[in-house]
Amino acid sequence: MVSRMDGAVLPLSLVEMATRHVRAEVLSGGFEPGGRIGEEALCARLGTSRAPVREALRLLAQEGLIEHLPRRGFRVAVWSDTDILQLFELRRVLERHAIESAFPLVMECDPLRAVRTALEEMRVADAADDLFERDNAHRRFHAEIVALAGNRQLDVAYEPILLKLQLPMARNLRAEAQIAQRHNGIRRHAELLEALERNDAELAQDALRRHGELTYLDLDTR
């Protein structure tokens, strides 16, 4: 597989490497919101040419994790408190709709297997202190809940919201680990899975309301 930019064919592995590196730096707080991302410094650090780095930055800008400023390069995206609150509200609306559409589940075929797998991947990454993979598994966990509805257009609508929320979701898990017990984030998601396994839409909706994805973010919620 290849990626194209300005008519050139780039090895996807180099683009993936650069994308993973920048995403990990942003989500871990290595690059602060509003902080400039220098292309030359990235090229030197990764030992690669500018083309795959530019492609990686373009892809991350499409996700909303970073943004391009004309004649000034790239910087980490800055979301206002209002932006974050609105994105989380949209996420809740779509997740509630998914549960309303999906339940009751046909439990004989184990419809929650992918949700359970994502949670286990969160546990493994957390135990290994691999915050990047934990964040990836965290997003998969929520995406698999929405996928229960079997609605392709719902999945398509949900994906960009989840991508834009990468940084706030990662920040919430990190703040929770510092303020409360480290594994509280895993426990909260295990409780949500347990509610889903009860195959009761009302219980699942209540678990979503109590999920607490904004609890540890320093936001103005007035």
CATH of the domain at 101: 1.20.120.530
**Cα dihedral across residues 4, 18, 123, 189: positive or negative:** negative
- Where among 25, 41, 76 does a domain terminate? 76
Which residues touch 203 (CB under 8 Å, ≥6 apart)?
195
pLDDT band of residue 8 (cuts 50, 70, 90) is low
Reported as a pLDDT band with limits 50, 70 and 90, residue 12 is low
pLDDT, greater one: 2 or 217: 217
In a domain, 47, yes or no: yes
Q: What is the CATH number of the domain that holds 41?
A: 1.10.10.10
Q: How many CA atoms lie within 13 A of 25 on its CB side?
A: 23
Query: Are 17 and 56 in a shared domain?
Result: yes
pLDDT confidence of residue 218: 72
pLDDT one-digit tens code per residue, 154-186: 999 999 899 888 888 888 888 777 776 667 788
Positive or negative CA dihedral for 172, 190, 133, 124? positive
Residue numbers of the domain that contains 144: 81-209
Q: What is the pLDDT of residues 117-128, one digit of tens each?
A: 999 999 999 999
Statement to judge: residues 200 and 96 lie in one domain: yes
Q: Which of 23, 52, 76 is the last residue of a domain?
A: 76
* Ramachandran angles phi, psi of 58, nearest 5°: -65, -45
Is residue 203 a part of any domain in this protein?
A: yes
105 and 180 fall within a common domain: yes
pLDDT for 1 equals 41
* Same domain as 139, residue 32: no
**Domain identity same for 63 and 109:** no
96 in the same domain as 201: yes
What integer pLDDT is reported at residue 11 of this predicted model? 52
37 and 120 assigned to the same domain? no
Q: What single-letter amino acid sits at 199?
A: N
Residue pair 88/214 in contact by the 8 Å Cβ criterion: yes
Angle at 189 between CA 66 and CA 212, to 5 degrees: 70
Same domain, 195 and 122: yes
Answer whether residue 218 is part of any domain: no
Domain assignment present for residue 217? The answer is no
Q: Is residue 219 part of a domain?
A: no
Same domain, 49 and 129: no
Phi, psi of 2 (to 5 degrees): -135, 165
Residue 42 lies in a domain: yes
Q: For the chain, how many structural domains are there in total?
A: 2
Does a structural domain hold residue 64? Answer: yes
Predicted pLDDT of residue 2: 46
Assigned domain for 158 exists = yes
Last residue of a domain, one of 14, 48, 76: 76
Q: What is the pLDDT of residues 51-99, one digit of tens each?
A: 999 999 999 998 888 999 888 889 998 888 899 999 999 999 999 999 9
Q: Are residues 96 and 134 in the same domain?
A: yes
Whether 6 shows a pLDDT value over 90: the answer reads no
- Of 24-28, 143-147, 189-193, the one with minimum mean pLDDT is 24-28
Query: Does residue 64 sit in the same domain as residue 90?
Result: no
Q: Residue 176 CA to chain centroid, in angstroms? A: 16
Q: Is 221 helix (H, G, I), strand (E, B) or coil?
A: coil
Q: Are 174 and 129 in contact (CB under 8 A)?
A: no
The residues near 125 (Cβ < 8 Å, ≥ 6 apart) are 131, 132, 133, 134, 136, 137
